[in-house]
Amino acid sequence: MEYIPTIREFIVENFLFGDGGQVSNDTNFFEKGIIDSTGILELVSYIEETYNITIEDEDLVPENFSSLNTLSAFLQKKQLVNSPN
């Protein structure tokens, strides 16, 4: 599943107020001040509702949420773990 386009759209609309020019797939959300701790909670809520994926507290680490690429890789792994065989 491709996560980046819909998550990018959510971030641009909710945190950058429509100005997505500064967000590449590798842009670090925390270093650039795009998302803070409250923003992560909003993003997690969006992801859980949109993709029907439960994100556990231990998943809330910068390595999983620092950019579109890291977030997409995390969600792909999460989906594989939770998919029925």
Residue 84 falls inside a structural domain = no
In the chain, the percentage of residues whose pLDDT exceeds 70 is 94
Euclidean distance between CA atoms 61 and 50, whole angstroms:
20
* CATH code of 70's domain: 1.10.1200.10
Per the domain annotation, does 29 fall within a domain?
yes
Count of domains observed in the chain:
1
Whose CA is closest to 27, among 77, 81, 83, 71?
A: 71
- Confidence band, pLDDT 50/70/90 cuts, at residue 80: confident
Cα 26 from Cα 36, distance rounded (Å): 17
| Residue 83 pLDDT level (bands cut at 50, 70, 90) | low
* pLDDT tens per residue across span 32-59: 999 998 999 999 999 999 999 999 999 9
| pLDDT value for 20 | 72
